[in-house]
Structure formats: structure tokens, C-alpha cells
Chain A
């Protein structure tokens, strides 16, 4: 059984969870669960600080910072508050702290976000990118291919739900190449952004539980900051792999659709009971 506490390694991963309530629209707290549990199962302790509006901690104390999605309204509140946090966040990014920023969090790590309606929001400027609101929303399953020195080519699966179109500058690398779905802007075929240990993505799902390789990459890099290279003992990931495979299959089946809901065959609209899609 894999989900039992591992033997204590005396390692502690320090996590800063930015705006845990304000920015938590798509159950992205699952990312925190994935990190905490995969550490626990290997005997690595986690210390989590929740960071709210009006607080300005020293972000360089964290090994890993989570910054998730929110609707435009929440995003406005966060953007205003972020300016006071920005210098310390930038310092942490330069000092190799790992960031996982999702959707609105991802957009706000860039230079700016211009919604479809309303005034432009200023970002933190850690990631060399800017985002513009579009008139349509990408709401569908997504799969992207990534490549990292630690793990070679790997696939990330998830669900995207955004109207923002993100454009990368020369200072940021894309996180991956879109296999199915839309990614940053629906045009250039790329998704997400990477700068040092800062990872930004549109993938909800939440992204980490179904992509254990990515969770472990984040944990390894976060630990490396204070402990050097730590070999993570392998876990039995059969449950995660099955969920990954199911999500990948869905992404491929919905490839090319802007909204997964609209794409569902009309026959199923007729009577939800009669045309069930049992597997």
C-alpha cells in the first residue's frame, strides 16, 4: 500500500500558498494535496503558510510557492495586492524558489493582463509574457508534451478554461507543446511558461495529481534549493497513471473543440438517461 507515511527523512519542504481562498476557483487546492501527500509518503515533512491579502512575508524563505486561478473579480483584488508582494516574489524567483502558477495566477506572474472588458491589470513581471482577454473561452480537455533534463519527454494532461490569450517574450520558455487543446493563445501551439524554477500553466484538473512526474519534478527542484540533489524513492503510481491515461484519451477525443460541452454529441442532449455513455 503506497498511501502510508514513509520513514522520516528529516527533510522539510516549505510551501507558501498564495491567496488560498481568493484564488481557488477550480479546486486547484488538489495541487497542494498532491505535493503534501507525495512528500508524506516518502517521509518528507511539509510546512505550509497560507498567505493572504495585505500580508507581505519574505518569499525567499519558501521552497515552493503555489498561486492558483480565480475569476476576473478576484484577479483584480489579487493584482492590486500583489504590487506590495512583487519585489520579494521576484527575489524568490531569482533565488530558485519553485513556483507553480495556474491560470489567473500564471497570468499575474507576467507583465500584464488586459481583460476583454475593463482596465488592464499589472502583473509581477517574473515571467516575460503578457495576456489579453479574448471574446471566446477555451473550455476543453488538454494534453501537452514537455521535456526536462530530469525526466525527458513527458505528457501533462488537464482541463483548460480561459479566455485569456498569453504571448511569451524571449525571456520565457514554453512549458510544453500542445498535443490537443489550445494552450497559451490557440495560435502558436505552445502552452505555459518556464523561467528558472517558475512554472506557469493554464492546466486545471487540478494539474498535479494526474501528472505525478510533474509533481515529483517540482518537489525535487524545491528540495534541491536547501538540501542539494535528493533522490525521491519511487511510489506506486498505478492509480495516477490510470487517471492520466483516461484524461489523455479524453483530450485526444476532444481535439479541435473550443468547448468540450458544446462538442458533446447532440444525441446525449435528447435524454440524459437514454443515451448514456457507459464505459
Chain B
């Protein structure tokens, strides 16, 4: 086994080829049975099985392909940015392979090649698109050797897994330094930390972001993570903050400021009801774009800017961007609107204060009282430490709350959080069992009513599986 890792790609020996073929076949079989038995379709299982048989499976397939490789990482927005990039590539006539369900740990990333390659490890794609968890980057990057790396943003996320914010950022920056000069790094210029990446890198850099005073707040909100200067630790001064610590910033002490943006949203009109499309003017090195984004919220403007920058870096041009982005649909669980008989469900996967607060702010703009189902569970993918619930501004929605069902292994913590956000106790109920919780919440919403679900990753999948059985949604791997 030890000599196995020495194989780079090129002249793969016969025993190695046989092992690779076995690994890919077994992975494909595992994915197929997973779908057959409806336990989750080909998201991480194929990659996991294949890696057990051949730990080099991803490295071998990557070394052999001539397709361009885009990696998208960061705390928030990976899945939607990847979907938008895929849509642009697809509209531009590229054949795309992509871990589109957001299974972004090493197994999920490996599943992409297992699912798309033939048993000889050959890929019939022009573009390989990988969404990768920031903590998985150190192991995934050397195996993939990407041409383009997009960093969407770095928020406080899963401290229980990665220790602290700066160690994640430092590790990521180190990886970017190792990229060759033929590669391109696409960075969020509005994120003071991300914008500082790659100073020592040989690769080209492209910055994306927002540059407008149409929207935003004068100072970053409380849950903002990086509001001190990356270089000298002085408090940054913001002309405007768009989302947490993302904005137009400058250090009054050392002069560090946001870099010139290559792809910039310079005019933004958000839907005042938080539910409809956004009108965006986007400046790019290849010309100006007028876009209608069907997905609401400022975060989706970031996702679009990142996807456009990635597309430019990968050489797709921008001609097909408006059409591709006008048809984009929400990824599963991203404030996904679901018709459940005569009732409407908004399903939001929330994993950190930033994403939770975004969703709360959007739905606070929807008219009327809110019926909520909140679900949090501690599992390996959701994390163990749910302290961050106290950084969620539930106070902003508590006056609108008609009733709440709390579920998941962290249901008691959620109920307590709501109590301290001054949601009256008689409006809050804890129901651990997932289906019973959904039923009770739908009953609360009443005939023709609307239910808002905010859930961590595992419960989002569990709830979606229930809705799938009821015919309200398609399986997420078919989305």
C-alpha cells in the first residue's frame, strides 16, 4: 500500500489500473444501491467506498484529465456559487461534472469522479467543478491541482471542528501560495481577510464584490467576524457594510483597504418583500452586465459575482451569463419554496449565525405572522457546539412569531434561546420526532398557510426525505 501513493498519474501500472477500475466500479455500485434504497443518492458513499479500495482514485483521475478544474471554497455560498458557475459553463457549451448536492468533504468530492468517470478513470467533461469544505482543502487541493480557486468568504463557522477562524484562514492562504502561475485565485474583495490572501502567490488574482451605496449598513453588525485590520489590528473603518464584515473598508492606521474589484456589482435593487428577484448591474473586465437574479437577498449577488469571476477565470466569456443566471433555481434547502398541498413551505438550511441571520432578515420582510419549525441536531456534519445560536438575532423576528415547533437533538437549547428572545413560552413547543414535528408545524400554519423551516444540515435532509415521500419535492440528488 505504501508505494501506492507514489503514483502520480501518467504511466499507471496494470495492477494500479485494475485497482482504480475496481474502486470506481464499487463506488458506482454503492451509489446506485444508495439511490435504489433511497438512503441518499451518490453524494458521499461512492467516494468513500472508492477511496477505501484505492486511496489514489481522485489523484489518478485528476492527473489524467485535460478538463479545467474549478474549486469553490469558503464558509457560505459555496453550493449556490457552484450551481451558478455550472449554469454559465453549461450555457457556454461546456460539459460539466459537479458535486452539485453540496456533499463537500473528501468523500463527496471523490464521488464526483466516481460518478462521472468510466471504469478506466476517463472523464468525458470539459469542466470539473468542486465545492469543497474549507477544512477539507488541505487534503483535497494537492489531489485536484485546480486551475481556478474561488474563496467566497470566511465567516465564523464550526469552531468546534476547526478551532478558530484564523487557523482556517491561515491554512487556506498557505494552499493558495502553492498554486502555479497558470492558475487563478478568485477572491471576495469585500472580505478584509479573504482579500488579503495570496499576497505571496504566483497565481493570478481576480477580485469580486459589491461597490455601491444602494444597500448596506454604516457599520458591521454584531456577529461580524473580522473588523480589525489584517495587517496592524487597528479597527477597520467601513464606508458601508453589506453583510456581516463584508463591505467597503479601510484601515485608518496603515491604509490597508479593499483592492480594486475586477467583477463588481455597482447597482443593486433588492425585492422589498424579500421574496422576489434582484436587479443587478455588474461591471466585469469583459464589459457590463445587466442581470435579473431570481434568487432573493444580497448573498445571492455575491454568489453571482463569484460565479461570473470564476467563469471569466476559466475562459467561458460573459455572453451567456444573463440567460444562465436568469434561470437559476435555489439549491435544496436554500430558502427553497415548496408547495405542500395548499400550504407553502420555505425550507432554509442554516449552519452559522450569518446564514441564519440572512434568512431571518429575508423572511421578516414577508408580510404577516410567522409559523416556524426550527431544527438543530448535533452530528458530525452539523457540529457539536451550538453556542452560535446565541449569535442569531432571533429578537428581530420574535414580535412576528405566531408559533414555533423546536425539534432535533438541540430542541431544548432552541426553545431556551427563543425564551430569551422573548417569544412567549406558550407559543413554543418541543417535539423531538421529526415527522411529528413537521405535522404539528403544518397544523399550526393552518389551511393555505405558510411554514418557515430553519434547520441544520442533517435535519434539512431528514425533513426533505419526508417531503419527498409525500411527493412535495424531488430527491435532492435529482435536483
**Distance in Å: Cβ of A148 to nearest Cβ of chain B:** 23
Contact flag A243-B412 (CB < 8 Å), given A161-B159, A260-B384, A277-B377: yes
A selection of 13 A-B contacts at a CB cut-off of 8 Å is A2-B425, A21-B224, A30-B417, A159-B384, A239-B416, A242-B416, A268-B379, A268-B380, A269-B380, A272-B382, A277-B458, A278-B432, A279-B411
Contacts of A272 in B (CB 8 A): 40, 44, 379-382, 457-458, 461
A240 at the interface (CB under 8 A from B): yes
Q: Are A77 and B233 in contact (CB under 8 A)?
A: yes
Contact A279 B432 (CB under 8 A): yes
Contacts of A9 in B (CB 8 A): none
Cβ A242 vs Cβ B387 within 8 A: no
How many angstroms between the C-alpha atoms of A154 and B226 in the bound complex? 37
Hey, which chain A residues are within 8 Å of B160, CB to CB? Answer: 139, 159, 161, 259-261
Q: How many A-B residue pairs have CB under 8 A?
A: 178
Return the CB mask of A201-228 against B: 1 if under 8 Å, else 0: 0001110011000000000000000000
Contact partner of B383 among A2, A3, A261, CB < 8 A?
A261
Q: Indicate whether B430 reaches chain A with its CB closer than 8 angstroms.
A: yes
B425 to chain A: which residues have CB within 8 Å?
A: 1-3, 236, 239
Residue B290 at the A interface, CB < 8 A? no
In the complex, chain B residues whose CB is within 8 Å of the CB of A26: 159, 385, 387-388
Query: A72 near B420 (CB under 8 angstroms)?
Result: no
B413 touches A243 (CB 8 A): yes
Choose among B166, B235, B416 the residue that contacts A243 (Cβ–Cβ < 8 A).
B416
A128 CA to B2 CA, complexed, in Å: 51
Known interface pairs A210-B416, A271-B39. Does A278 touch B462 (Cβ–Cβ under 8 Å)?
Answer: yes
Bound-complex Cα distance A22 to B423 (A): 29
A276 to B377: give the CA distance in the assembly, Å.
Answer: 9
B361 is an interface residue with CB less than 8 A from chain A: no
Could you tell me if B384 and A141 are in contact, using CB atoms closer than 8 angstroms? yes
How many residues on the B side are at the interface (Cβ–Cβ under 8 A)? 64
Contact with A along B462-475 (1 / 0, CB 8 A): 10010000000000
Within 8 Å of chain B (Cβ to Cβ): is A73?
yes
Q: Does A131 contact B (CB under 8 A)?
A: no
Pick the contact of A264: B45, B163, B380 (CB < 8 A): B380
Residue A152 lies at the interface, judged by CB distance under 8 Å to chain B? no
Q: Mark each residue of chain B from 154 to 194: 1 if its CB lies under 8 Å from any CB of chain A, else 0.
A: 00100111011110000000000000000000000000000
Taking CB atoms and an 8 Å cut-off, the chain A residues in 249-279 that contact chain B are: 250, 254, 259-261, 264, 268-274, 276-279
B27 within 8 A of A: no
State whether the Cβ of A196 lies closer than 8 Å to any Cβ in chain B. Answer: no
Q: Please, how many angstroms separate the alpha-carbon atoms of A269 and B457 in the complex? A: 13
Question: How near does chain A come to B428, taking the closest CB pair, in angstroms?
Answer: 8
- Whether B462 pairs with A21 at a CB distance below 8 angstroms is no
The answer to whether A3 and B387 touch (CB under 8 A), given A71-B164, A243-B412, is no
Q: CB of B390 within 8 A of chain A?
A: yes
Q: Does residue B353 face the partner (Cβ distance < 8 Å to A)?
A: yes
Beyond known contacts A161-B159, A243-B412: 10 more, CB 8 A cutoff: A21-B227, A26-B159, A28-B390, A139-B160, A204-B385, A210-B413, A239-B415, A259-B160, A276-B461, A278-B432
